[in-house]
Amino acid sequence: MFSIDVSWSSLNKHDEELCGDKVEMLYTPDSVVMILADGMGSGVKANILATLTSRIFKTMFKEGASVDLAVETIMKTLPICRERQVAYSTFSILQVFYNGDAYLVEFDNPSCIFIRDNRIQNYPYEERIMEGKKIREYRFKVKIGDSFVLMSDGVVWAGTGEIMNYNWTWDEMAEYSRTCAGQTRSASRMAAMLSDMCNELYGRHPGDDTTVCVMKIEERQMVNIFTGPPKNKEDDEYVVRSFMEAKGTKVVAGGTSSDIVARVLDREITTNDDGNGTIPPTSNIAGLDLVLEGVVTLSRVLTLLKQYARGDLTVEFFFELDADNGASRLARLLIEDCTDIHMFVGTAINNAYLDKDVPFEYSMRMSLVKNLKKVAESIGKKVIVEYY
C-alpha cells in the first residue's frame, strides 16, 4: 500500500487577523479527503463562510454521505452575492482511495495541478450543473510519485498591483510546482516552498487570502531506531540481530547502544566532526544509516517534531531541519522520508547516568520514547515500540 502525504500553507490578506480560506482533512479507513474552501472577500466574513462550507463537507463525509450528496447540499446552501453574481464560497475536494482511485470536484477555485513523472498532466473532466452552479469533476487513478496542488485564487493573483508581479499565472504556478515536486518528497516542504513564493510575489504583503494544499503519493518507508541497552546483557545479540534484519533505514541512538551494536557486529565506530556545541557529533558504523548520541539528540528531535506537528513551518524551521547535525538529520528523516517507525528500546539502567541512585538516563529515555511515539503518530506515522 502507498502512503498519502498531505500538507497546506495559508497566508492571511495583509492586515487581516483571520484567513478567508479554510482547509479540512478527513481520514477514513479506505481514503484521505482534502477539502479547501475559499470564502468571498476577506477577514471575519470570509472566514465564517469558508469554515461553514468546509465543516459541512467534513461532517457529511464523516456521517457516510456520498460526495455527490455533500456537493448537492452545499450547492443548495451557498447563496449567491446579488452584486457580484458569484457564490459566497468556492471549494475544491480531492479524495484519494488506497486502492488507487481518486475523485476531484472543483467549484470556482483555480484548477488542481496534476504532476506525474516530472510533467504537468491534463486529466479529462466532466462539467455538471448543480442547483444552477457549474462544477468540474475528475475521476482518475493515482500512482506512486504523483503530486497534486489545490489552491485558492489568491495564488494566481499573487503580485497583482505590486512591482514584483512577473505575470504570475496558473501556468507559472504549475511550472514552479513541478520544479518543487522534483526537489522534495515532502508535502509540507513543497507547500511551504509554494506559499513562500506567493508571499514573495506579494512583497510580503498579500493582497488576498492565499492557500496552497499539497498531496503526494509515496512508497511506504520504514525507519528502525535502536536506543538503550537491553535489560539482560545476554539479549544483546538477539536484539541487534533483529534490528539489523529489519527492512528499512537503520538508526542507533545512544553511546552505549552504539557500543553494543559495534561489539555484536564486530565493527569499528568512528566519530564525525559535525557536533555544534549543542548537539553531540554523529558516528559511523558500517551497515548503519545514522549513529547518534542519545538523550540530548533525541530531545532536540522531539522539539523539531513538535514544531512540525503544530504547523509552525517557517523558513527558519526548514533551515534548521536541513542543518548538518544528528538531531536535524533524524528529524528530517522522520518527517520527510518515513511512513513507519519501529523502535527497539532497551530497558537497562545505564550506570553512567546514576545520580544519588536516581536512574536519570533510563527515565529520560522512556519519556522520550513515549513522547516521540505520540507526536509521530499525530503527524500520521505508524509507530511500533518493542521493549527489551
Which residues have a Cβ under 8 Å from the Cβ of 72 and sit 6 or more positions away? 130, 131
- Give the Cα separation of 255 and 248 in Å (integer): 22
Q: What is the pLDDT of residue 102?
A: 98
Q: Please identify which residue in the block is written with the cell numbers 502525504.
A: 5
Is residue 192 pLDDT above 50, yes or no? yes
Which residues have a Cβ under 8 Å from the Cβ of 68 and sit 6 or more positions away? none
- Give the Cα separation of 221 and 2 in Å (integer): 9
Residue type, 241: R
Q: What is the pLDDT of residue 50?
A: 95
Is residue 210 pLDDT above 90, yes or no? yes
**Stretch 109-132: mean pLDDT, rounded?**
95
% of the chain with per-residue pLDDT over 90: 80
Q: What is the pLDDT of residue 358?
A: 42
Q: What is the pLDDT of residue 130?
A: 85
Name the more confident of 68 and 307: 307
Q: How many CB atoms lie within 10 A of CB 266?
A: 6
Using an 8 Å Cβ cutoff, are 241 and 249 in contact?
Answer: no
* DSSP conformational letter for 64: T
Using a 10 angstrom Cβ sphere, with 0-12 exposed, 13-18 middle and 19 or more buried, the burial of residue 47 is buried
Per-residue burial over 76-96, b if 16 or more Cβ lie within 10 Å, else e, is eebeeeeeeeebbbbbbbbbb
The boundaries of every CATH 3.60.40.10 domain in the chain are: 3-218
- Give the Cα separation of 189 and 192 in Å (integer): 5
**Cell representation of residue 117:** 513523472
Is residue 353 pLDDT above 50, yes or no? no
Give 247-274 as a DSSP string: SSEEEEESHHHHHHHHHHHT---EE-S-
Q: State pLDDT tens for residues 67-90.
A: 788 888 888 877 666 665 555 789
**Start-to-end Cα distance in the chain:** 30
**3-218 CATH pick, 3.60.40.10, 1.10.150.240, 1.10.340.30, 3.20.20.120:** 3.60.40.10
Q: What is the pLDDT of residue 162?
A: 55
**pTM of the entire predicted model:** 0.88
The β-bridge relationship of strands 222-227 and 210-218 is unpaired
Using a 10 angstrom Cβ sphere, with 0-12 exposed, 13-18 middle and 19 or more buried, the burial of residue 132 is exposed
- Give the Cα separation of 294 and 324 in Å (integer): 17
Is residue 357 pLDDT above 50, yes or no? no
Q: Which of 198, 149, 173, 188 is nearest to 13 (CA)?
A: 198
Q: State pLDDT tens for residues 88-99.
A: 789 999 999 999
**Cell representation of residue 158:** 499573487
What are the strands, taking DSSP E only, across 98-209?
101-107, 113-116, 119-121, 126-130, 133-141, 147-151
Q: State pLDDT tens for residues 32-49.
A: 999 999 998 889 989 999
Q: State pLDDT tens for residues 161-182.
A: 555 555 689 999 999 999 999 9
% of the chain with per-residue pLDDT over 70: 92
Name the more confident of 159 and 221: 221
Round the average pLDDT of the chain to a whole number and report it. Answer: 92
Q: What is the pLDDT of residue 167?
A: 66
